[in-house]
Amino acid sequence: MDKFVTRHRKRSAVEADEWKTEETFKKYKEECEVEEEFSHPIPWQKIEAEGLDCDYSLLFDKEEADHLFNQLEEEVEYFTGDQAKLQVYGKSYSAPRKQATYGDEGLMYSFSGVHLLAKPWTPTLERIRDAVTRATGHSFNFVLINRYNDGHDHIGEHRDDEQELDPACPIASVTLGAARDFIFRHKDARTGSSKRQIEPVKLELAHGSLLLMNYPTNTYWYHSLPVRKKVKMPRINLTFRRIVKNRQKTGIKIE
């Protein structure tokens, strides 16, 4: 098969306030999509579970991934000082990783009461974003960058389910650097007396890889990048997103 499908939306997500159920969302998506070819076919691996729909592939070969990693090390400016702190249950903590946000002009990243304006795209971020667009047919206006210095750096369980994210656009997660375990846990398998036995979904995200988290994955599943003390090398993760501009209110919640 050498034809792939590009999905373009014909109307804005803002009009879709009626998205209350999966049925209405699916119907809306079908109405909105048109098919055409695009030019960067890559083999995808489907990852599915109850309410989880992901696609995984290697987007960049080692040489290109090494180059992109080195370029990002020169270009990306990470938050420092108060902007690098997390507020969890009213207390301020240093994030166990470095973070930065880039994107289209005026887009805001809101996180634990702190509002951070996206910096303008750098040449390397544009190059990666465009490669993701060619591979998926989706366009992105924002990227959150997490840099993990080694296996002590991590991110706790959370969902990327903010209302300003366009659900018709997957969250596209690019990994450069050390391979790390990435774990999904169903929301009903976490805590409480009604806890269900649903196996977690564990992946290893490789250097140069692309993971697409499609709707409704972030409705039902939490994800995390746990501590792995044996990992000595740094890793940069870029999550490309599409933010609906006049829905911006809240940011990523880390629990």
Ligand X SMILES: O=C(O)CCC(=O)C(=O)O
Residue 8: CB partners within 8 Å, gap ≥ 6? Answer: 32, 33, 34, 36, 137
Min dist CB 148 to ligand X, Å, is 7
Judged by beta carbon, residue 16 or residue 172, the one nearer ligand X is 172
Judged by beta carbon, residue 239 or residue 248, the one nearer ligand X is 239
Judged by beta carbon, residue 124 or residue 146, the one nearer ligand X is 146
Min dist CB 177 to ligand X, Å, is 10
Sign of the torsion angle spanned by Cα atoms 79, 74, 252, 158: negative
Report d(CA 11, CA 7) in Å as an integer.
Answer: 12
Q: What angle do CA 143, 139, 2 make, to 5 degrees?
A: 125
Report d(CA 149, CA 75) in Å as an integer.
Answer: 16
Min dist CB 122 to ligand X, Å, is 18
Residues recorded for the chain: 255
Judged by beta carbon, residue 132 or residue 144, the one nearer ligand X is 144
CA dihedral 92, 252, 46, 35 (to 10 degrees): -160
Min dist CB 145 to ligand X, Å, is 8
* Paired strand residues for 168: none
Q: Which residues of the chain form contacts with ligand X (CB under 6 A)? A: 144, 146, 155, 160, 173, 182, 205, 223, 225, 237, 239, 252
Min dist CB 224 to ligand X, Å, is 7
Judged by beta carbon, residue 101 or residue 136, the one nearer ligand X is 101
Return the SS3 of 11.
Answer: coil
Report d(CA 153, CA 207) in Å as an integer.
Answer: 17
Closest residue to ligand X, judged by C-beta, is 237
The tokens for 204 are 């290893």
Min dist CB 203 to ligand X, Å, is 10
Judged by beta carbon, residue 38 or residue 85, the one nearer ligand X is 85
